[in-house]
């Protein structure tokens, strides 16, 4: 009996291959005619086409030298793995009869159709990709939803309820449109921004990612593997949408620096290192998008990097309102919402493809049209994130220390002190210019010289202080020069004789 797999291309409700599996397959290359008495049942055109798709085709058969497996193209966008024994059965069913003829084909495939790797690749269609010294067989194309003109009231209402402001809707649609064009139309822009969806638990941000963004782009799943300590990361390279849900940004400055570096690499690098288990790793160029979902918890927001030069342009931050009333509260209501969204996706994609974003949302200040969409950040989120950040606390303490130092110098020189002058700071100087309560805050934030240097280095990269906070070169590397701006440098009215 020939072992034939029922492929998804064949209608599952009819299972047209079930009768074929119960009948012997003819050994000749020609397919049996209906009622030919060959021992096979009468075959419909659909069943004959299913056999043709499953038949052996030497031109579309590849050999993975690393795993010693064969891959057979079973549809235009899909390859399946076959053992040598299974492949011989396909050969025989397709007319390649006898060991000598089969061995000749097998050797030819192993020599001329040899690949070193075989797996799906984010945003790429099935086929062979030359990686330089090696070849990759992409085994699956991204799933595609065919655009179709129509209405999408459920999706429209959900986006309005979740985002509220028109600017958030415009930026989101443009970000998603560029991703769709890159993955499914061969256009768009490979480099992209991290889309952060921030809102209360259960507001609908996860539903947006899993039921709208994911299906529009293709395959979706967790992107945590990019940030984990494991050496193996091949699974994320089969996704078009990487969901960063509960990704540990990392406590402290070092964790956030690593998070930013890894995220920027995933967003803008031309190629990334894919490291599957059991084989050597290699460089590939995935086409994907990253979305991060965060609850609006002050402790979580405190860890998120913001106002950092070289990072801010790569982040879009959307504030999500409560849209749970549209999702429903019962299992049946949520299922109906999901089904309504699924039915409307072809119309929504048709709208995206033909829609033109307002030009004011297509570029970012200082970046032009590099990403094709503005690095928008909801103003209220910017205030909340920065006010809760350690950098904001450190900047505030540094300004206090600077003013106290100016006052102290004024007392020593009969009021002659320049409030806009720059000072060199180390950890000891910083603590000595604090009163008791501020020193306690400083000790919690930077308890030792090493933490002080790390925080000052981080603060020096912020867009607000860039160029006004610089490290001293030479032996005293943990000493920093701080130059206040005119507002911060205003010296409060002080009586030099009393210091008050």
pLDDT the model gives residue 220: 96
How many other CB atoms are there within 10 angstroms of residue 486's CB atom?
Answer: 8
Q: Strands, DSSP E only, in 339-498? A: 423-425, 469-471, 480-482
Splitting the chain (500 residues) into consecutive groups of 10 residues, what average pLDDT does each group show?
Answer: 33 40 36 36 54 72 91 88 90 88 94 93 94 90 96 97 94 96 87 95 95 97 83 90 79 72 92 86 93 87 80 93 93 95 98 94 66 91 76 86 87 74 88 89 90 84 75 70 62 43
Tell me how far apart the alpha carbons of residues 35 and 397 are, in angstroms, rounded to a whole number.
90
- Which residues, in sequence order, are CB contacts of 406 under 8 Å at separation 6+? 417, 418, 419, 421, 489, 491
Rg (CA), the chain: 31
Whether the model clears a pTM of 0.85, i.e. scores above it, the answer is: no
Q: Which two tokens stand for residue 471?
A: 């490290």
Nearest to 373 by CA among 239, 188, 128, 139: 188
pLDDT the model gives residue 498: 44
Q: Which two tokens stand for residue 95?
A: 């007319």
Tell me how far apart the alpha carbons of residues 266 and 272 are, in angstroms, rounded to a whole number.
7
What domains sit in the chain, N to C, each tagged with a CATH number? 1-54 (no CATH), 60-143 (no CATH), 153-380 (3.40.50), 389-482 (no CATH)
- pLDDT digit string (tens) for 47-68? 555 545 556 889 999 999 888 9
Contact 166, 318 (CB under 8 A): no
What letter does residue 209 receive in the DSSP assignment? I
Tell me how far apart the alpha carbons of residues 217 and 215 are, in angstroms, rounded to a whole number.
5
Q: Which two tokens stand for residue 163?
A: 């985002």
């Amino acid at each position: 009996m020939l072992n034939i797999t029922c492929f998804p291309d064949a209608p599952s409700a009819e299972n047209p291959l079930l009768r074929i599996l119960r009948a012997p397959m003819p050994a000749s290359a020609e397919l049996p005619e209906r009622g030919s008495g060959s021992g096979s049942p009468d075959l419909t055109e659909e069943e004959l086409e299913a056999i043709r798709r499953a038949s052996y085709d030497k031109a579309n058969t590849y050999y993975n030298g690393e795993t010693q497996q064969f891959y057979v193209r079973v549809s235009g966008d899909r390859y399946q793995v076959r053992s040598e024994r299974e492949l011989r059965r396909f050969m025989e069913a397709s007319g390649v009869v006898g060991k000598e003829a089969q061995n000749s084909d097998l050797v030819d495939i192993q020599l001329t159709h040899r690949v070193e790797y075989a797996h799906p690749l984010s945003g790429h269609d099935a086929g062979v990709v030359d990686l330089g010294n090696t070849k990759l067989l992409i085994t699956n194309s991204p799933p595609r939803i065919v655009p179709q003109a129509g209405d999408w009231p459920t999706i429209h209402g959900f986006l309005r309820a979740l985002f509220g402001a028109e600017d958030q809707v415009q930026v989101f649609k443009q970000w998603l449109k560029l991703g769709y064009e890159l993955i499914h139309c061969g256009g768009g822009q490979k480099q992209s921004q991290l889309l952060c969806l921030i809102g209360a638990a259960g507001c609908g941000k996860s539903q947006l990612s899993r039921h709208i963004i994911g299906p529009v782009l293709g395959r979706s799943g967790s992107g945590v593997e990019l940030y984990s300590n494991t050496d193996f990361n091949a699974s994320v390279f089969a996704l078009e949408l990487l969901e960063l849900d509960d990704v540990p940004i990392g406590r402290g400055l070092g964790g956030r620096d690593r998070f930013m570096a890894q995220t920027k690499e995933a967003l803008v690098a031309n190629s990334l290192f894919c490291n599957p288990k059991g084989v050597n790793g290699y460089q590939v160029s995935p086409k994907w998008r990253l979305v991060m979902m965060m609850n609006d918890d002050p402790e979580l927001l405190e860890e998120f990097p913001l106002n950092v030069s070289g990072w801010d342009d790569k982040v879009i931050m959307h504030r999500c309102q409560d849209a749970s009333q549209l999702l429903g509260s019962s299992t049946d209501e949520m299922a109906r919402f999901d089904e309504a969204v699924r039915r409307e996706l072809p119309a929504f994609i048709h709208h995206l493809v033909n829609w033109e974003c307002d030009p004011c949302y297509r570029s970012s200040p200082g970046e032009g049209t590099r990403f094709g969409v503005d690095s928008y950040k909801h103003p209220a989120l910017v205030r909340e994130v920065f006010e809760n950040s350690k950098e904001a606390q450190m900047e505030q303490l540094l300004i206090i220390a600077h003013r106290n130092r100016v006052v102290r110098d004024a007392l020593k020189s009969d009021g002659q002190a320049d409030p806009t002058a720059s000072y060199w700071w180390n950890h000891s100087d910083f603590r000595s210019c604090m009163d008791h309560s501020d020193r306690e805050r400083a000790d919690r934030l930077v308890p030792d010289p090493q933490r002080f240097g790390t925080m000052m280095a981080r603060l020096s990269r912020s867009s607000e202080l860039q160029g006004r906070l610089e490290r001293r070169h030479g032996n005293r590397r943990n000493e920093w020069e701080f130059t206040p701006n005119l507002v911060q440098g205003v010296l409060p009215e002080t009586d030099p004789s009393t210091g008050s």
